[in-house]
Amino acid sequence: MSLPSILRGAVAAALLSTALQSISPLALAAGETPADWARPVDKSFNLYQMSPTLYRSALPGSADLPELQRLQVKTVVSFIKDDDREWIGQQDIDAVSFPTHADRVDDADVLKVLRILQSAEQNGPVLMHCKHGRDRTGLFAAMYRTVIQGWSKEDALKEMVQGGFGTEDDMTDAVAYVKKADIAKLQQALASGQCSTSAFAGCQLKGWLADTFGEERPLRPAH
């Protein structure tokens, strides 16, 4: 085979490789999603399954109870002020309230929520939600992915803004927190039982004051 023929073959192979590499992002953009991303269950209230024991959604209503019962949800964790008991009624579902705002979340909040989720999952499937199932829920979902499940920050952020829960514009504050979060420090604090990654956090200072001045120190929640 002549040298020009070899060169033409090499160029053709390189062009084919480049073309194939460019197809993959287009496939995702057309609606395909990675297999480990949260799976849509009922988009009428932004309900997605993150794992066999964790779901995320917007604020459910009483009409959504049959679906949650079908999924055997045992605990609902809310990040808004609304009382979930208003729609849960007398059903055998635990309601945990942790009102917050995406622009005010800190490491102590994330650790509290992750412990709440881990503890609740021991009793069965858990649903976490905010009003629309986007910013606050998206933030804690991304931190669950990274701190507990070991995902990279990049993968968690991709799911967060491209997973169908809402647009990136809806989650500006949540995305900002995830980008700056120190995952290794959060994992260490979660494993050691610390309430925050910072020694100067309010929860840490309360503990120091109690130890120093002999005041009664509140027990750290199991979750």
Contacts of 186 (CB under 8 A, 6+ apart): 107, 110, 111, 143, 146, 147, 197
For 2-93, where are the alpha helices, taking DSSP H only?
A: 3-29, 65-70, 85-88
- Report which residue type is found at 173: D
Residue type, 219: L
Q: Which of 103, 107, 109, 155 is catalytic?
A: 103
Cα 110 to Cα 131: distance, rounded to the nearest angstrom:
18
Q: Is 115 exposed, middle or buried (0-12, 13-18, 19+ CB in 10 A)?
A: middle
List the structure tokens of 25: 């992002």
Active-site residue, from 64, 130, 135, 195? 130
203 noted as active-site residue: no
What distances in angstroms separate CA 130 from CA 189, 190, 217, one per listed residue?
25, 23, 31
The catalytic site residues sit at 103, 130
